[in-house]
Amino acid sequence: MAKDYDLQDTDGYEWIYSDKVQEHFFNPKNVMRKNPKKGVYNGYGEVGSPACGDVMKVWIKVDPKTQKVTDFKWKTFGCASAIATTSILSEMVIGMKLDRAFKITAGDIVKKLGGLPRRKIHCSVLGDQALRKAIDSYWKKS
């Protein structure tokens, strides 16, 4: 797990995030660039609050025959950890059956990222919550 010390920049400070977090923060995967057209995605989940800083919105497309996630798009407003968490979660979920995706935990996400500073773990909790809300919304519609 990444060490938990002060974030520092090029003025002699050190980056506290793993290479995997940096990769997903600087080059996020599966980002929703525009608002989706109605009916393209059959599951939606949103968690967080602009008042406290982090908001995650996720859209999933599920194949009704196989119950597999065929697409996962997202928009996250927040810190590097929140963005990296949603990005890597999108890669984890595509191709996965819904029942398995529903069981993804914050710990699974943090492990896949190579760790997060303790004070940033709450970002990974938002990711798995948003995913479960999207899956719930799919199940309610189908």
Written as six digits, the tokens of 135 are 């899956």
Q: Where are the alpha helices (DSSP H) in 18-120?
A: 19-26, 80-93, 98-102, 106-113
Written as six digits, the tokens of 8 are 């520092």
Catalytic residue, chosen from 123, 126, 134, 135, is 123
Is residue 79 annotated as part of the catalytic site, yes or no?
A: no
Catalytic residue, chosen from 52, 64, 65, 99, is 52
Given phi > 0 = left and psi -120 to 50 = alpha, else beta, which region is 74?
beta
**Bridging pattern class, strands 43-48 and 55-63:** antiparallel
CA-CA distance, 11 to 25, in Å (whole number)? 21
CA-CA distance, 126 to 113, in Å (whole number)? 15
61 forms bridges with which residues in the sheet?
71
Active site residues: 52, 123
